[in-house]
Amino acid sequence: MLPRNEITPEAALRDLEHPDPRVREQAAAALGYAPPEIREAAVTALRRALGDDHGTVRYAAALSLGELEDRGAFAALCDQLEDGDAMARQAAAIALGRIGDPRAFEPLAHALASGPPEVRFQAVASLVELDAERARELLVRALADPDAEVRGSAAAALGDHGDRGARDAIAALLDDTDLSCQFEAAFALARMSDSRATPMLVSLVGHRDFGLGALEGLTSLRDERARAAARQLARRLFAPALVRVRAAGVLAALGDAEGRDLLHRRVTARREDVRALAIQVLGEVGDKWATSVLRELRQSANAEALQEMLDDALARALRGEGR
């Protein structure tokens, strides 16, 4: 979804007729947040906007129709899967998944099999939204797609779904020529507690783009082979604070006293994002020590937002106890 702007729904309806396509694009994006009382007028106007001369407007209109879950736009969005504008094609694939109309499964399956790369990439996620079980075979085939983004998206989707039967097919991507595919495969395997992910994730802990995700995966795996790399990062004074929190989480999951101490101290850090991540990681560690720390924090928490964050982490930690 495009970023929300300050335009009112009434003004957005008017601005969809503006001569400047940038104004029409903003108007179409704003109507994705239309209140119930003008929803009908909004979807009618957005359906018309799918025929706009500018791809950016069609893109915004499709996303907004998806946000409004307008099944009446089904046929037009299917047509837009073959739009001349790449962004408009992507938006159509996204919207068809969000609308949730079961009829969209076959057009999206066709798009995954024969559409351009940007549509195949988005079709993966939308097919899972519609029917993850039915999409499984299609996703496994997509692991061999010629486009790296599609392969990586399929691996991520199978990992999200926890499809343990696809682990061998996902593991084959650990030797992919594209690093992002290797990461997505390793992360998906880690989520399914498959230790074949460990060497790849360890090799990526210092990577600018994949380091945090690699550390998250290693926290789930609790593999001793990650200890040395995690300790090195946790002790690195000039490493980004969020990276150090994640590294501490790997160590804490291994029962390491140094990692536990660092993670515990980070829940009172000055930076809000560091505190939030430390709480999240405690939930991921999910052993009796982490549960105890979270309960202690919950007893003294006053702010409602902090209480909710701690409750979420504590629920996750309790599910993880006994691993």
Concatenated DSSP letters for 266-286?
A: HTT-SSHHHHHHHHHHHHHH-
Of the candidates 85, 94, 95, 92, the one whose C-alpha atom is nearest the C-alpha of residue 124 is: 94
Whether 162 shows a pLDDT value over 90: the answer reads no
Which domains are present in the chain? 1-100 (1.25.10.10), 109-192 (1.25.10.10), 197-318 (1.25.10.10)
Q: Is the pLDDT of residue 322 over 90?
A: no
Residue 2 gets which letter from DSSP? P
Residue 305 CA to residue 172 CA, distance in Å, equals 42
Q: Would you say residue 301 has pLDDT above 90? A: no
**Structure confidence at residue 120 (pLDDT):** 95
CB 182 within 8 A of CB 174: yes
Q: What share of the chain is helix, strand, coil (3-state, %, to 5)?
A: 75, 0, 25
C-beta of residue 310 within 8 angstroms of C-beta of residue 298? yes
What whole-number distance in Å separates Cα of residue 313 and Cα of residue 294? 8
Reported pTM: 0.85
Q: Give the model confidence (pLDDT) of 228-285 as tens digits.
A: 999 999 999 899 999 999 999 999 999 999 999 999 999 999 999 999 999 999 999 9
283 token code pair:
């939930």
pLDDT of residue 63: 98
d(CA 249, CA 230): 9
Per-residue b or e along 108-133, where b marks 16 or more CB atoms closer than 10 Å to that residue's CB: bbebbeebeebbbbbbbbbbbbbebe
Q: How many other CB atoms are found less than 10 A from the CB of residue 278? A: 27
- Asked if 241 and 263 count as a contact pair (C-beta separation under 8 A), the reply is no
Q: Is the pLDDT of residue 166 over 50?
A: yes
Task: Provide the pLDDT for residue 323.
Answer: 60
Residue whose pair of structure tokens reads 């593991």 in the numeric block: 171
Q: What are the pLDDT digits (tens) for 193-239?
A: 999 999 999 999 999 999 999 999 999 999 999 999 999 999 998 99
Place 161 in a pLDDT band, splitting at 50, 70 and 90.
Answer: confident
Structure-block tokens of residue 308 = 């909710």
pLDDT at 2: 47
Residue 3 confidence (pLDDT) above 70: no
Share of the chain above pLDDT 90, in %: 91
> Among 230, 317, 319, 256, which Cα is nearest to 281's?
317
Q: Mapping DSSP to helix (H, G, I), strand (E, B) and coil, where does residue 84 land?
A: coil
Rounded distance between C-alpha atoms, residue 38 and residue 58, angstroms: 20
Residue 252: what pLDDT?
97
108 token code pair? 């999206």
Structure token digits, residue 160: 């999200």
Query: Confidence class of residue 303 from pLDDT cuts 50, 70 and 90?
Result: confident
Q: If you search the block for the tokens 């409750």, which residue do you land on?
A: 311
The one-character DSSP state at 53 is S
Three-state DSSP at 74 gives helix
Dihedral pair phi/psi, residue 193, rounded to 5°: 60, 35
- DSSP letter at 197 equals G
Q: How confident is the model at residue 321 (pLDDT cuts 50, 70, 90)?
A: low
Q: Measure the CA–CA gap between 242 and 203, rounded to whole angstroms.
A: 18
